[in-house]
Chains A and B, each alone.
Chain A
Amino acid sequence: MTTTVLKEPVRGDTPGAARDPRRTGRTRRTALPYLLLLPALVFELLVHLVPMVIGTLMSFRSITRFTLRDWNNAPWNGLRNFRVAVDFDAPAGEALLRSFLVTIGFTLCSVALCWALGTAAAVFMQDTFRGRGLLRALFLVPYALPVYAAVITWVFMFQHDNGLVNHVLHDQLHLTDKPSFWLIGDNSFYALLTVSVWKGWPFAFLIVMAGLQNIPRELYEAAALDGAGMWQQVRRITLPSLRPVNQVLILVLFLWTFNDFNTPYVLFGRAAPEAADLVSVHIYQTTFLTWDFGTGSAMSVLLLLFLLVVTGGYLLLTSRGRRAGNG
């Protein structure tokens, strides 16, 4: 890492300045951005860290309907809430584990599809053709729409009796023997996946498209001269060049999808079907509908730890890969 050293010494007023004016100048330069960041930092603390700390404190207490009002003085519960959350033989732990596995499966499917669709669209949109601008704008619509409005529209489309989805699949294409249920029962998983991918892939498209702009055209021209086809170009040039972009993209998509609350909540209401019972909604249910605030907090802390481990591991893996690749 290199640091730019100031060319002109700056007059300083601290004792150290007399000895080494260059050094103070650098200190001041490096301190200023942090000072300017501080207001944002303070609010970040207030908005994110403070609730996180409160949540963690709550997870060690027994907070029920009787102690809720004065939760600060609720009885200390030690690790009991955590034990309830991970006791997979008891109903609460068993339900959390099931919900966790559903979320993992759902997240992996959703991220993979979002990424594949986004990349395919971005690669396809690289060539200039008539109507490209319009198409690009259209692709971003799901990303721009407010979540509630978008998801409630999907609710209408997934309705059993007069929804568009059954109308197309059953009435027009005759793919099913009878109209299917999408918002209850096992199919709800696919309904959730559809909406999630529809909402998530434009972001992947946007990021990959930006990444593509950085790949020099000459590489493709040289490859074409060497006789590489379209598919070979994608495999040997596009994908390797996109690696750093994809690493960040996949991590962000993973975290967003894993933690998504709005989509399942608007789609299924407060009692999600088992097949689509994501962890975020499950914790909400435990906390606010079962009024078990202590266990709910413990579950949130466990989820946070899990995501920290996954993110840390992922960053470690990818940065090592990058170093190896560069070295």
Chain B
Amino acid sequence: MRSIRAAATGAVVMSLALAATACGGGTDSGDGAGGSSKTLTYWASNQGASVEVDKQVLQPELDKFEQQTGIKVKVEVVPWSDLLNRILTATTSGQGPDVLNIGNSWTASLQATGALLPWDEGNFAKIGGRDRFGESALASTGVEGKDPAAVPLYSMSYALYYNKQIFADAGIAKPPATWDELVADGAKIRAKGKSVLGAEGSNPSENIHHVFVLAKQHGADFFTADGKPDFTSPKAVESVKQYVDLMAKDKVIPPGNAEYAQNQSVSDFAKGKQAMLLWQSAAANLKSQGMKEDAYGVAPVPVQKGAPGSGTQVNSMAGGINIAVFKDSHNLDGATEFVKFMTSDAEQKALNKAYSSIPPVKSAQEDPEFAGPSMAVLKDTLAKSAAALPQVATESQFETAVGTAVKELFADAAAGRAITTASVKAKLEKAQQQMPAA
């Protein structure tokens, strides 16, 4: 009996001890923000075809960094669907990575939490100065007038990818430059039994990218100058309606795409079922799905008719990935050193080549690797006619609210319900009511 009691007491003591360490742990463990000066943790976003591909791309580069500096980088590739939640959790607990990737449209929202290291002149000087980066990429690194919360890493822009064979079969000589031309070409393509244009109707972020560009083309914005949501102006409503009408009225986006959210439209295009795709930096993705590079052409995203045309009217959001440092990192010097390495000319060329994105670092952009005809379209768009998504603290809520409204409108269109100015306005009004007051 006594031995049993001793065992029980032992078990209790042990569990309490375990509990105590579980609560207080982290501060001195080797992981996360508490790492020693010889290690760093890095959350990389999923850029390649899969998490595994990313690890294969990144690991040799990280080994190079370790050789140069003696700092070991533990990398974790986080899928997009988890990344924002993981960052928010790390923000509340203070137990995050040292360095992380963020979608550039979230930067202002994350900047508001105060968890990211501000990039003032001093910090920029450590990585070679802010002049090294392109203007449009810098535009999405935080709220205007504040020190950026992140540094551009990969840049992307939207383009119109079109299947050359389908265009030839339908007797279309050149890719459409305006939306009217696209709709007219659509009729010819449909007559050949192919679907016209792909969309990811159930993916709120994709929806946002497209309606944002259309709104810019109409001269509308989703936020007032002082950063308040303004979703229901006649021009904003018109822009959203124009995008959903591509399915409802113009019949160029097939109804089935209303439920796409897993990049099915890219697969449809790669398999040759569909004539056109609006996507950012799709080359690596299409290649991994077996589509040959000479099977498709790349053209700027269509604009509204009438001058000024392509190259002057906004036809892409300034897409891309930023790299940021967690303020709570115990190895800020090492983290800054790592950002310097990742934004160096050599790494910029290697990584952007692997991901078919464009280097935001100007000197790396000059590399012949990024001079091919399709790359030229993306580069040109980024330099001349791409606009950064609103850099306001409520950006991520805007993506959810308006992106979901467009998803619901697509669902209505797919079910054959009428899309009217009133129905679009009602959805946008609801979205605006969901926005936080402050």
Contacts and interface: CB of A to CB of B under 8 A. Distances in A.
Interface of A: 10, 28, 32, 35-36, 38-39, 42-43, 45-46, 64-66, 68-69, 71, 90-92, 95, 159-161, 181, 183-186, 268-271, 273-274, 285, 288-292
A32 B4 contact: yes
B261 A269 contact: yes
Given A32-B8, A68-B91, A291-B109, 10 more contacts: A35-B5, A46-B19, A181-B258, A181-B415, A184-B201, A185-B414, A268-B202, A271-B400, A291-B397, A292-B436
Contacts of A185: 411-412, 414-415
Interface in B84-129: 84-85, 88, 91-92, 94, 109, 112-115
15 contacts: A35-B9, A36-B8, A38-B11, A42-B15, A45-B19, A46-B23, A66-B112, A66-B438, A69-B114, A181-B258, A184-B411, A185-B414, A186-B415, A290-B401, A291-B396
Contacts of B256: 159-161
B422 interface: no
B397 to A, nearest CB: 5
Contacts of A65: 109, 112-113, 393-394
A292 B434 CA distance: 10
B8 A68 contact: no
Contacts of A184: 201-202, 258-259, 407, 410-411, 414
B109 A181 contact: no
Contact of A69 (B12, B81, B91, B414): B91
Nearest to B207: A271
A290 B400 contact: yes
Contacts of A285: 400
A35 to B, nearest CB: 4
B319 interface: no
B259 A181 contact: yes
B15 A38 contact: yes
Interface in B380-438: 393-394, 396-397, 400-401, 403-404, 407-408, 410-412, 414-415, 430, 433-434, 436, 438
Nearest to B327: A69
A183 B14 contact: no
B204 interface: yes
Given A71-B92, A159-B259, A181-B414, A288 B84 contact: yes
Given A69-B92, A160-B259, A285-B400, A271 B204 contact: yes
Interface of B: 1, 4-5, 8-9, 11-12, 14-16, 19, 22-23, 81, 84-85, 88, 91-92, 94, 109, 112-115, 201-204, 254-256, 258-259, 261, 393-394, 396-397, 400-401, 403-404, 407-408, 410-412, 414-415, 430, 433-434, 436, 438
A90 B11 CA distance: 52
Contacts of A71: 92
Contacts of B92: 68-69, 71
B414 A290 contact: no
Sorted nearest first, the 5 A-B pairs with minimum C-beta distance are A39-B15, A91-B433, A184-B411, A35-B8, A161-B256
A183 B400 contact: no
B12 A35 contact: yes
Given A271-B400, A288-B85, A183 B436 contact: no
A81 to B, nearest CB: 13
Contacts of A274: 408
A136 B23 CA distance: 45
Nearest to B115: A69
A10 B1 contact: yes
A293 to B, nearest CB: 8
A45 B8 CA distance: 19
Nearest to B396: A291
A46 B20 CA distance: 10
A291 B15 contact: no
A42 B202 contact: no
Nearest to A286: B434
A45 B430 CA distance: 40
Contacts of A10: 1
Contacts of B414: 160, 181, 184-185
Nearest to A71: B92
B430 A269 contact: no
Contacts of A66: 112-114, 393, 438
B15 A43 contact: yes
A267 B182 CA distance: 33
A41 B174 CA distance: 71
B202 A271 contact: yes
B12 A289 contact: no
B191 to A, nearest CB: 20
Nearest to B438: A64
A46 B22 contact: yes
Contacts of A159: 256, 259
A159 B203 CA distance: 15
A270 B5 contact: no
A184 B16 CA distance: 49
A290 B9 contact: no
Q: Which of A71, A268, A271 is the most central at the interface, judged by chain B CB atoms within 10 Å of its CB?
A: A271
B408 A273 contact: yes
Nearest to B12: A38
Contacts of A90: 433
A290 B397 contact: yes
Contact of A289 (B11, B22, B91, B397): B397
Contacts of A291: 88, 109, 396-397, 436
A42 B88 CA distance: 28
B113 A183 contact: no
B202 to A, nearest CB: 6
Contacts of B404: 271
Nearest to B19: A42
B436 to A, nearest CB: 6
Contacts of A28: 1, 5
